[in-house]
Amino acid sequence: MTTHAISPVEYRKKLSANRLGLWLFIVSDAFIFGGLLVSRFYLLGTSERPEVNQVVGLVVTSVLLLSSFFMNRAETAIAHNDRKTFLFSTLITLVLGTIFLIGVVGVEWPISHFDGGAASSLFFTMTGFHAFHVLTGVIFLLVVYRNGRNGHYSAEQHWAVEACAVYWHFVDVVWIFFYPALYLIGLPAL
Amino acid sequence: MSKMNASTKAPSGPTALSLVRGLAFLVIGFLAGAQLVSMIRLAMGLPLYLPWNPKANQYLFTEPAWVLGVVFGTVAFMIGTRVFDDWFRWAKGEATPEHPEAYQPKGFARFLTISYDHKVIGIQYGLVSLLLFLLAGSFALTFRTELAAPGLQFMKEGSNIIGMDGLQFYNTIMSLHGIIMIAAMLAGVAAMSNYLVPLMIGANDMAFPRLNAFSFWVNIPAAIWLVLSMFLGGFDTGWTGYPPLSAKAPLGMQMYFSAMYFVGMSSIFGSLNIIVTIVKLRAKGMSYFKMPIFVWTAFATSIISLTATQLIGLSFQLVMFERLFGMSFFNPVNGGDPILFQHLFWFYSHPAVYVFILTGLGVISELLPVFVRKPLFGYRWVALSSFGIAIVGFLVWAHHMFTSGMAAYLRVPFMYSTLLVAVPTGVKFFSWVATIWEGKMTFQTPMLFVLGAISIFLLGGLSGPPNGVVATDLHVQDTYWIVGHFHATMFGGFVFPFFAAIYYWFPKLTGRMYNERLGKLHFFLMLPAFYLQSLGQMQVGLLGMRRRIADYDAALGIDTSQLLITIAGYAIGIAVLIAVYNFYISAKRGAIAEANPWRSRSPEFMLPSPIPAHNYEQPFEVVGEPYDYGLAGSVYASFKPVKPVDTGELPAGAQPAAAD
């Protein structure tokens, strides 16, 4: 931010455009998750649900929800120029996001055996799509954390942190819909 | 290499030959991706490569290897063109200059190089669009030749055309004709909205210039994969790619799915950019109801592309997963349902046609007042009708599925919603007729194309209700009637307006005038030829000609019509070639254009031709209505000097001149 610094007026104009852009991206992305949910309900009960582990499901869900709290804390902290809390909370979010990824891809996937049926296919596709978004969020967090440690971002100019937080909350909200659709309904008895 | 060349002029800006670098990277990326899967196969004790045997659907690499190769190749292409460079720098915490445009190569090389200038990107889109049109058109002529007479001429079973069975070749180019035309139209829509929207609203560029460049360049690898599908067994599903056939089609199917995935990505990010540009970068005084109509239509189409495109991407991806991982979403044996695919597919693919036609109708409404020298009739209604069409367009998709076996109770609601589209479309028609009424018309080429578009779109519109009404649709479903209807809507709604737009803005694009004689020749050849083709298609359809098949029974008594359709098709092809020739020689040696040859009120015509790099040196203020043609003393955009804006406060809606 040294050689091509822009005036606060320019920054505010850009910021408002960036915000709208991000929200439009989220609206767009929501449609793909919506489509997956629709597919899930459309094919509900036509084949046996995979043997998911409820404990793992509950743990990863709690971890992800908790991570959103720390993400919010990080953003609020940088908005108040509290650099230490910002960095610490970002790191916690990063760790929790990684735990979520390991929980879903590393623990849940091997347990819930893929049998080629529609419900099983959707389980892996939906968790896979979501895990991919979490992964991109984790990479985003890494970028923010690294730049934060290098002294970037201030109370006035921290768009990247804000964007990362909004995106992270979005991924979290998606899981709030996916968790019941994948873990809590559609028992084989249907 | 290219770094060295460019370093004389551009130490840090984008370098020349983006296209060449990108293509080199694409090959390397593809091989890396394909090889990665092959190595995994080797580790699993499977043979590293397959023989090249199209009959057994074996093409050296396995299918997963091809798909990962396509993904890696596309990413590598984007890295090679340096589209990502600034984003990588931002991720590293560095800042980059807002407009590195000063280091652009001169001449045509500009269009082969990454640029963040919306005008260059618009022309790049336009060139790609025309290229794809020519390609898809040549496919159409190829299979029209086969259809000119009953019986199989040269696409016979057992004949070998580019490694495919003759009938498979027919199916493949018939499918590719459809999908490449759609890619061409998406590129054409992006060309027009990219070039025109910032100019019309008084912005100096799009809101996100880098994202804009990304949206364009990702189309290039997509087009390559799409064409490559021809050499990998092709695909025989038609452009719709319905499973279960698409789950079993040759490898070409995967190339089609992956290619359209990237085209969709381009649509999504392009439309996101357009919406933000329209909402945030309008000139001072330009309230929503003072925007040019074209901007309204670009807004409405962008809302469709932004959201619905995700679902076609999803539907294609699910079929890809079926093929790659043995999943099943659409296979009833394992609890899937093929109807689900059709729902997901048409949720995008129906609104997609409104993406094409809304843009075209926007051009019609934009140009008509200029050539009749009268205000546009019912501006507000026309503006809102675009949103009406877009919103209703989201609710009609299942009218493609009346015969598919979906739940029967869904038919009637979708019939009503479909017929509802006629209301906002009718608003546009009444506005055009009332605008023409008692106008002082002049008939230059753009106006001819506008009038031609209106008449053909009327044909397309009137042939629509029989398809929308369940009772009649059951009879015309999958016949050539549908083909005739669809081509009429696309020619009237997109192709003719697109040509009108190219002729109309040609002076702004190139700084030169097109050749009026060739332009008129183009029009007077294409219009009757198109009518012949479209009406002929409708006729043979009603007489029992099925769509998508290579042969028909001579006893149907339609061979004369079929021959006429083929001849008309060739006439359209010749007309398009004349247009391309016209664009080429006029861009090179046409008469130097004046700034405002049409006496337009639109702000882009207040700029010199061609338009300078950073559009508006001085921002304008909107002080009147956009289409008050013929009203003495009325002004739309005022270029009076305004106070410098950098006072530390945000002026409402104003756009300061370029910062450099």
3-class secondary structure per residue, B141-202 = HHHHHHHCCCCCCCCCCCCEECCEEHHHHHHHHHHHHHHHHHHHHHHHHHHHHHHHHHHHHC
Q: What pLDDT sits at residue B514? A: 96
Three-class SS state of B52: strand
Q: What is the DSSP string of B100-137?
A: GGGGPPPGGGGGGS----HHHHHHHHHHHHHHHHHHHH
Tokens of A70: 């720390």
Q: What pLDDT sits at residue A71? A: 97
> Who among A25, A39, A147 is closest to B329 (CB)?
A39
> Who among A9, A42, A43 is closest to B646 (CB)?
A9
**pLDDT mean across residues, chain B:** 90
Contacts of B302 in chain A (CB under 8 A): none
> Who among B281, B331, B344 is closest to A35 (CB)?
B344
Tokens of B186: 């998406």
Q: What pLDDT sits at residue B16? A: 57
Q: Do A150 and B93 touch (CB under 8 A)?
A: yes
In whole angstroms, give the CA distance from residue B475 to residue B488. Answer: 20
Contacts of A38 in chain B (CB under 8 A): 343-344
CA distance B347 to chain A (A): 10
CA distance A182 to chain B (A): 15
Q: What pLDDT sits at residue B157? A: 85
Q: What pLDDT sits at residue B430? A: 96
Is B321 touching A (CB cutoff 8 A)? yes
CA distance A103 to chain B (A): 22
- pLDDT (tens digit, 9 = 90+) per residue, B195-254? 999 999 999 999 999 999 999 999 999 999 999 999 999 999 999 999 999 999 999 999
**Cβ contacts of B407 within 8 Å, gap of 6 or more:** none
Contacts of B659 in chain A (CB under 8 A): 6, 10
Is A88 touching B (CB cutoff 8 A)? no
Q: Do B276 and A147 touch (CB under 8 A)?
A: no
What is the chain A residue with the closest CA to B281? A17
CATH 1.20.120.80 fits A8-184, yes or no: yes
Which positions 259-278 of B are in contact with A (Cβ < 8 Å)? Answer: 268, 272-273, 275-276
Assign B4 a pLDDT band (cuts: 50, 70, 90). very low
Q: Do B95 and A5 touch (CB under 8 A)?
A: yes
Exposed / middle / buried, residue B584 (Cβ in 10 Å: 0-12, 13-18, 19+): exposed
Q: Across residues B19-29, what is the average pLDDT?
A: 94
**Peptide bond just before B619 cis, omega within 30 deg:** no
Tokens of B307: 């959201």
Contacts of A24 in chain B (CB under 8 A): 272, 275-276, 306
B615 or B184: whose pLDDT is higher? B184
Which positions 427-486 of B are in contact with A (Cβ < 8 Å)? Answer: none
Q: What pLDDT sits at residue A5? A: 64
What is the chain A residue with the closest CA to B305? A28
Q: What pLDDT sits at residue A169? A: 97
Yes or no: say if A153 and A161 are a contact pair by the CB < 8 Å rule: yes
Q: Say yes or no to pLDDT of B140 above 80.
A: yes
Q: Say yes or no to pLDDT of B642 above 90.
A: no
Q: Across residues B348-364, what is the average pLDDT?
A: 95
CA distance A132 to chain B (A): 14
CA distances from B262 to A109, B70, B73, B88, B117 (A): 28, 10, 12, 21, 22
Q: Say yes or no to pLDDT of B645 above 90.
A: no
Domains of chain A: which residue ranges? 8-184
What is the CATH code for B116-589? 1.20.210.10
Q: Do B314 and A25 touch (CB under 8 A)?
A: no
Is B650 touching A (CB cutoff 8 A)? yes
> Who among A10, A20, A117 is closest to B334 (CB)?
A117
Q: What is the DSSP string of B296-344?
A: HHHHHHHHHHHHHHHHHHHHHHHHHHHHHH---SS-GGGT--HHHHHHH
Three-class SS state of B218: coil
Q: What share of chain A is helix, strand, coil (3-state, %, to 5)?
A: 80, 0, 20
Q: Do A122 and B329 touch (CB under 8 A)?
A: yes
Q: Which of A12, A14, A39 to mutate to test the interface with B (most CBs of B within 10 A)?
A: A39
**Peptide bond just before B244 cis, omega within 30 deg:** yes
Residuewise pLDDT in 10s, chain A (190 residues): 444 567 888 888 899 999 999 999 999 999 999 999 999 999 988 888 888 899 999 999 999 999 999 999 999 999 999 999 999 999 999 999 999 999 999 999 999 889 889 999 999 999 999 999 999 999 999 999 999 999 989 998 999 999 999 999 999 999 999 999 999 987 654 4
Q: What pLDDT sits at residue B53? A: 85
Contacts of B315 in chain A (CB under 8 A): 35
- pLDDT (tens digit, 9 = 90+) per residue, B266-306? 999 999 999 999 999 999 999 999 999 999 999 999 999 99
In whole angstroms, give the CA distance from residue B493 to residue B223. Answer: 24
For chain B, how many residues are written?
660
A6 or B152: whose pLDDT is higher? B152
Write the DSSP symbol of residue B208. -
Is A125 touching B (CB cutoff 8 A)? yes
Which positions 94-123 of A are in contact with B (Cβ < 8 Å)? Answer: 116-122
| Helices and strands counted in chain B (H then E) | 22, 6
Q: Say yes or no to pLDDT of B656 above 70.
A: no
Q: Say yes or no to pLDDT of B659 above 80.
A: no
Q: Say yes or no to pLDDT of B139 above 60.
A: yes
Is A84 touching B (CB cutoff 8 A)? no
Paired with B637 in beta bridges are B622
Q: What pLDDT sits at residue B597? A: 92
Q: What pLDDT sits at residue B509? A: 93
Q: Which of B280, B316, B322 to mutate to test the interface with A (most CBs of A within 10 A)?
A: B280
Q: Do A46 and B280 touch (CB under 8 A)?
A: no
CATH 1.20.210.10 placement within chain B: 116-589
Q: Across residues B592-608, what is the average pLDDT?
A: 91
Q: What pLDDT sits at residue B253? A: 95
Q: What is the DSSP string of B628-648?
A: -TT-TT--SEE--------SS
> Who among A25, A35, A118 is closest to B335 (CB)?
A118
Which positions 195-254 of B are in contact with A (Cβ < 8 Å)? Answer: 207-208, 211
What is the chain A residue with the closest CA to B273? A21
Q: What pLDDT sits at residue B100? A: 60
Q: Which of B88, B340, B347 to mutate to test the interface with A (most CBs of A within 10 A)?
A: B340
CA distance B338 to chain A (A): 11
CA distance B659 to chain A (A): 10
- pLDDT (tens digit, 9 = 90+) per residue, B532-559? 999 999 999 999 999 999 999 999 999 9
Q: Across residues B160-180, what is the average pLDDT?
A: 92
Q: Say yes or no to pLDDT of B657 above 90.
A: no
How many contacts (CB atoms, under 8 Å) link A and B?
A: 124
> Who among B307, B314, B650 is closest to A36 (CB)?
B314
Q: Say yes or no to pLDDT of B633 above 90.
A: no
Q: What pLDDT sits at residue B516? A: 96
Q: What pLDDT sits at residue B424? A: 95
Q: Do B95 and A146 touch (CB under 8 A)?
A: no
Is B4 touching A (CB cutoff 8 A)? no
